[in-house]
Chain A
């Protein structure tokens, strides 16, 4: 492997990471509050479509990303109204959200297929910009890539070091105990889900506004589900989510690089890699450590939640 190839793979890995990392981070917040949102794929698609639409209309990628966050928040509030308010089955409702989000994004995006927009610009960090070629390409990344670590640290702090975070985690461990302790678990779960929706929307918007700079139906191609796997992989800890997201992006980047080199392997088999990898990693690595999941989630997954 030449230095140029290495730099391309690393650079692609980093550029792809936010689209799954922010979704993972959001899902961690939601799951820590005791709610599994299986529909973040749909929320991401909404964020991608609406973000792209706003980006084309306003010409400002920052506003586009914020719009993505906004629509993600709204979608997750709808989800919260159903699972927290009406107590619907979380898994089936998540699936419905995935389907609905996908359908609405198709409608919203239909007028924007083939359009171009001002993508989110690359931020060049002083000091790193003077590196020799091709090493400098690694650090030519957009704002959301640079914000991954600060975002992870912020969520870690908010969940682990603030009163609100403690309450959210209490709701996630046992809704009844949290209620008995004088908290309002439903309100906490709605708050956590609203925050999670913003992150998922940003993740989707990053894909369309910063990475591909186009809109395509179903363009998230399962990243929402992979994010849920990375949540298990990172044992519900925000800082570890960075590594999970990088691992997945690396699998995609390697596939892309092999295709670019004209590999004889079918591109469809290479596209399969992330999904197979996700199942295997969850089975082999995360499952034995499943005890670290919030206790409230076990009921959801076992199908015994009320």
Chain B
């Protein structure tokens, strides 16, 4: 058999796998909607016309896509060296918290100084939160899955403690949130839509990581650790440093997402900074097989689905949790598919 036919077969098999996954997901979706006595086709139609059918709807999809790309990168970068970061949500909150501190404290700073300071604070805050888990893991003390989950709860509660306590805006009596940021602390939005400039940072992060992976010595070492950590350690790759650093950069990107949510969209810090972006980001990363090239398309797909969830609440009266269930089922399907695939090749 020639190489060409082998290659074609592997492509065909991959295509078949994707088709199976998609069909399974669509079937689950149809069953869910039918169980509420609604028409799945009408629901699908609503999702597409409202998200891709108008420039406003498209803009809203992009708005949702930005935190997904960033939190997916927070999972992807550590995943390439075998670390499972499920703490994106906490890292997002930690970043939002640190950035908000700058916004609320240095109110007289000009925008050209305040915004970069907030971005650095957001990145460092989220990064430090993740690096803590990475450091504990690198010493062999505490598994990162476990510590990042617990750190999620702590970061989210810390934001609540602040906005219900010292940072509470005295003028908003019923809804606890911080004071409104000064205009200099607001990230500019593009083309009159709600899409903000962090989209460039998100895309830059994806491109940069792809280049680092392919073209640099760091990328080579990252791939070495991902392939066989013991072998990498034997040839002198500083694995511990890589773990802490990968977690720091990943967490930093999630923190940036938190900064953008507070600064660009909400204009203040409140307890509901994220409706679980990082959980969807985790799914994005696994859907993409931790491949940076697929992060943006997968984020787009899930952003359409998430925006669709809001639409279905309005047009069909379906609870938003329907989309969460679908997300969870897709997660399970993807994990199973990957494991079976791995079993076949090895």
Chain A residues in the interface with B (C-beta under 8 A)? 38, 78, 82, 86-89, 91-97, 99-104, 106-107, 110, 221-222, 225-226, 228-229, 266, 268-269, 271-272, 275-276, 278-279, 282-283, 287, 301, 303-304
Contact = CB atoms under 8 A, between A and B. Distances in A.
Given A99-B328, A266-B161, A279-B147, A93 B321 contact: no
- Main secondary structure on B side of the interface with A: helix
Given A89-B335, A275-B150, A276-B154, A99 B165 contact: no
Nearest to A278: B150
Given A107-B319, A225-B149, 6 more contacts: A95-B84, A99-B324, A100-B331, A102-B324, A266-B164, A287-B141
B321 A110 contact: yes
Contacts, number: 120
B279 interface: yes
B145 A95 contact: yes
Closest 4 CB pairs of A and B: A100-B328, A103-B324, A268-B161, A106-B321
B142 interface: yes
B161 A269 contact: yes
B146 A225 contact: yes
A104 B328 contact: yes
Interface stretch (B114-122, B185-193, B216-224, B336-344): B336-344
A103 B325 contact: yes
Contacts of B149: 38, 222, 225
A20 B62 CA distance: 41
Nearest to B163: A268
Nearest to B166: A266
A160 B214 CA distance: 52
B328 A88 contact: no
Contacts of B213: none
Contact of B335 (A93, A279, A301): A93
B157 interface: yes
Interface string B255-279: 0000000000000000000000001
Contacts of A276: 154
Interface centre among A78, A92, A104 (most CB of B within 10 A): A92
- Main secondary structure on A side of the interface with B: helix
B136 interface: yes
Interface of B: 82-84, 86, 136, 141-143, 145-147, 149-151, 153-154, 157-158, 160-161, 164-165, 229, 279, 282, 286, 319, 321-322, 324-325, 327-329, 331-332, 335-336, 338-340, 343
22 contacts: A38-B146, A82-B335, A86-B339, A87-B343, A93-B332, A94-B145, A96-B332, A100-B328, A101-B328, A103-B325, A103-B327, A104-B328, A107-B321, A107-B325, A222-B150, A225-B149, A268-B160, A268-B164, A268-B165, A279-B150, A279-B151, A287-B142
A88 B142 CA distance: 22
B223 to A, nearest CB: 15
A71 B61 CA distance: 36
Contacts of A107: 319, 321-322, 325
B146 A95 contact: no
Contacts of B143: 91, 301
B158 A272 contact: yes
Interface centre among A82, A106, A279 (most CB of B within 10 A): A279
A76 B279 CA distance: 21
A222 B325 contact: no
Nearest to B230: A304
B153 A268 contact: no
B42 to A, nearest CB: 20
A105 to B, nearest CB: 9
A101 B328 CA distance: 8
A229 B327 contact: no
A221 B86 CA distance: 16
A95 B150 contact: no
A282 B154 CA distance: 16
